[in-house]
Amino acid sequence: MNIKNKIKIKVNGKKIIFDNNTSIEKLTKKLKIPLNKVAIELNKKILDKKKLKKIKLNNEDKIEIVHFIGGG
């Protein structure tokens, strides 16, 4: 593993190492996140799901992914 091409990020409080220059869209696919059932926050800002392909991850980014749960 070439560490120069990796970044450290936090996803829901868990530290992970990921490829540099990766989009949020690639991250969600890698983690098998169903986009129609979640809200995604990057560094305390809620993201527009239409723009996930263009938003690149940076070292030390903090991502929170919240799943919607139905009930009554």
Report all structural domains of the chain as residue ranges with CATH numbers, in order of start. 3-67 (3.10.20.30)
The answer to whether 7 and 57 have CB atoms below 8 angstroms apart is yes
Tell me the average pLDDT of the chain. Answer: 91
Q: What percent of the chain stands above pLDDT 70?
A: 94
pLDDT at position 25? 94
Say yes or no to pLDDT of 65 above 60: yes
Of 22, 24, 43, 23, the residue nearest 35 (C-alpha) = 24
Element (H, E) at 26: helix 24-30
Confirm if 9 and 22 have CB atoms less than 8 A apart: no
- The mean per-residue pLDDT over the stretch 11-19 comes to 94
So what's the pLDDT on residue 2?
63
Of the candidates 62, 45, 55, which has an alpha carbon nearest to the alpha carbon of residue 21? 55
Mean pLDDT of 3-11: 89
Q: How far apart are CA 52 and CA 56, in angstroms?
A: 8
Return the pLDDT at 1: 53
